[in-house]
Amino acid sequence: MTKSSFSNIQSEYLALIDHNKCVRCKRCIQNCGWGTYSFGGDKILADHSKCVACGRCYTYCPEGAISIVKNPTVLRENANWKEGLIKNIWKQSETGGIVISGMGTTFKYKKYFDHILLDACQVTNPSIDPLREPMELRTYLGKKPSRLDVGIDDNGEPVLKSKMPPQIELQTPFVFGAMSYGSISLNAQKAMALAARALGIVMNTGEGGLHDDLVPFGKNIIVQVASGRFGVHRDYLNSGVAVEIKIGQGAKPGIGGHLPGEKIGADISKTRMIPVGTDAISPAPHHDIYSIEDLRQLIYAVKEATDYEKPVSVKVAAVHNIAAIVSGIVRAGADIVYIDGYTGGTGAAPNIIKDHVGIPIELALAQVDERLRDEGIRNEASIIAAGSIRSSADAVKAIALGADAVAIGTAALVVMGCHVCGKCNTGNCSWGITTQRPELVRRLDPEVYGERLYNLISAWSHEIQEVLGAMGVNSIESLRGSRERLRGVELTDAELKALGIKHAGL
């Protein structure tokens, strides 16, 4: 078969340079991780086909001379044969490969958070002013006994008879979602670690092990054990406040992580405990977990290894039968269940999975919370909800649907400059986030972005306090699972039922 010399796939974006403004400083050439720009002797040239609209060049152009526009050349419009479908066929016919991309799905599915409205107090109960009254956001993650075991001491004072199981204390109900060293840069992890420590919350190592530089942040770190077991050893398990067993991820339920060998340099090799240059491919399942009773064994193996001093979290993707699955996980001994909805992010995943597998976190969460209450075991484990929490409003709604806390991943990367271009898998991230190229990584200053992450979570926490005050409660635990404070709009009866909320007006 003869090789065709041309490609059907045209540039998605055009990088346009205003040569009257351009002073030829070449910052764009330096900043672009994709090699879009080059110097043509007297002016900057742009190879549009390389542009991904990551926004780095125009952000750093001192003259404001760059604009990135969508390629105006049209494909004939066809509502059935959409542009993306046609382009995928071209791509796959040219390469024979699976189409892979980063971040969450770009499909326009219904976002249930956007169809849920919150309540506020009027007259019959007063709202509370968060500027003048305490407004508590502190959250504890971990197994809670169903009842307090108290005795009375010699002075007639009540005393605790048995110790509480280990808990993670969060000053505000946010955690940073799992993003491994490898999928993101060490500097990106450091920014989150700094922010987590300042905020009194936790970050999650993801499946890539724990770099030595992060060991001092142990009190603000959850370490993860995934099917590849990268970087897992005894000290690793004991270096954080909790251990998370990763079964699945919202963006790619049913498959494991994949870090190409080109990204495995000396440092990652050491942290992940694998040879330099080898592909780090996590098996789709854990090969020691083929059933729920196997999961129980791993949970207790981890508990044994950590002296029962750390809660064990199990992370799963939201799939069709999620309520029964989580019930099983709780009964298997998990102290925390992390549920990741289908719009969650990823460093790399096949589009077929990312765009078509899983269910929305809102529905999964509502069903799980209801199921655990029906079974009388909701206290046995805390729930973390994730899968594109985009704002404090999403967080509030998730908590009212039943989550103990929410995890943010993509939002944290957006803080660091991410424009959600979805090319994380290529390792060329101009912002220094999802890349291991040293010249790109070093532009991400952990202290600068640690502070911005701190700002974001602080701002969102203040917004949650505003909402709590408007609802007339002064503690987050009075919102948690309080679906009575939620109403749906533009939702069908089936959707309302799945969410366990009433339509607005009722």
> Hey, which residues between 348 and 387 contact other proteins (CB under 8 A)?
373, 376, 378-379
- φ/ψ of residue 43, rounded to 5: -155, 165
CA distance 143 to 313: 10
From 42, 77, 154, 157, residue interacting with other proteins (rule: CB under 8 A): 157
From 481, 491, 495, 498, residue interacting with other proteins (rule: CB under 8 A): 481
From 88, 238, 297, 482, residue interacting with other proteins (rule: CB under 8 A): 482
Q: What's the gap between Cα 201 and its chain centre?
A: 15
CA distance 233 to 238: 9
From 7, 21, 39, 133, residue interacting with other proteins (rule: CB under 8 A): 133
**Residue 396 Cβ, how far from other proteins at the closest point, in Å?**
14
Question: In this structure, are residues 181 and 269 in contact, taking their beta carbons and an 8 Å threshold?
Answer: no
Binding range to other proteins, per CB under 8 A, among 19-27, 244-252, 326-334, 475-483: 475-483
Per CB under 8 A, does 69 bind other proteins?
no
> Hey, which residues between 175 and 234 contact other proteins (CB under 8 A)?
none
CA distance 131 to 409: 29
Per CB under 8 A, does 475 bind other proteins?
yes
Question: In this structure, are residues 416 and 393 in contact, taking their beta carbons and an 8 Å threshold?
Answer: no
CA distance 178 to 192: 11
Beta strands in 238-361, from DSSP E residues, in sequence order: 242-246, 258-259, 280-281, 312-317, 336-340, 349-350
For CA atoms 213, 218, 220, 222, give the dihedral sign.
Answer: positive
From 45, 75, 152, 324, residue interacting with other proteins (rule: CB under 8 A): 152
Tell me whether residue 26 or residue 138 sits nearer to other proteins (CB atom): 138
**Residue 378 Cβ, how far from other proteins at the closest point, in Å?**
6
CA distance 156 to 159: 9
Tell me whether residue 339 or residue 400 sits nearer to other proteins (CB atom): 400
Per CB under 8 A, does 308 bind other proteins?
no
Per CB under 8 A, does 140 bind other proteins?
yes
Task: Tokens 């351009």: give the residue.
Answer: 22
Tell me whether residue 160 or residue 489 sits nearer to other proteins (CB atom): 160
Binding range to other proteins, per CB under 8 A, among 11-19, 23-31, 137-145, 388-396: 137-145
From 485, 495, 498, 499, residue interacting with other proteins (rule: CB under 8 A): 485
CA distance 403 to 405: 5
From 49, 55, 477, 496, residue interacting with other proteins (rule: CB under 8 A): 477
Binding range to other proteins, per CB under 8 A, among 21-29, 119-127, 330-338, 421-429: 119-127
Tell me whether residue 200 or residue 285 sits nearer to other proteins (CB atom): 200
- Whole-Å CA distances, 422 to 47, 101, 351, 414, 419: 19, 6, 11, 12, 8
From 136, 294, 451, 466, residue interacting with other proteins (rule: CB under 8 A): 136
Binding range to other proteins, per CB under 8 A, among 11-19, 31-39, 334-342, 481-489: 481-489
Helix (H, G, I), strand (E, B) or coil at 129: coil
From 159, 284, 292, 448, residue interacting with other proteins (rule: CB under 8 A): 159
From 138, 320, 442, 497, residue interacting with other proteins (rule: CB under 8 A): 138
CB within 8 A of 29, min separation 6: which ones?
A: 37, 38, 39, 44
Dihedral (C-alpha) 165, 137, 401, 388: value to the nearest 10 degrees? -100
> Hey, which residues between 486 and 505 contact other proteins (CB under 8 A)?
502
**Residue 447 Cβ, how far from other proteins at the closest point, in Å?**
29
**Residue 295 Cβ, how far from other proteins at the closest point, in Å?**
24
From 255, 471, 491, 499, residue interacting with other proteins (rule: CB under 8 A): 471
What single-letter DSSP state applies at residue 469? H
Per CB under 8 A, does 445 bind other proteins?
no
Tokens of 288: 């020691």
CA distance 37 to 19: 13
Task: Tokens 């006994």: give the residue.
Answer: 145
For CA atoms 22, 24, 30, 35, give the dihedral sign.
Answer: positive
Q: For residue 176, list its beta bridge partners.
A: 408
What single-letter DSSP state applies at residue 184? B
From 78, 106, 125, 391, residue interacting with other proteins (rule: CB under 8 A): 125
Tell me whether residue 158 or residue 216 sits nearer to other proteins (CB atom): 158
Per CB under 8 A, does 462 bind other proteins?
no
CA distance 175 to 203: 6
Tell me whether residue 158 or residue 261 sits nearer to other proteins (CB atom): 158
Task: Tokens 């995928």: give the residue.
Answer: 88
Per CB under 8 A, does 309 bind other proteins?
no
Residues near other proteins (CB under 8 A):
121, 123-126, 128, 133-134, 136, 138, 140, 144-148, 150, 152, 157-160, 164, 167, 373, 376, 378-379, 471-475, 477-485, 502, 506
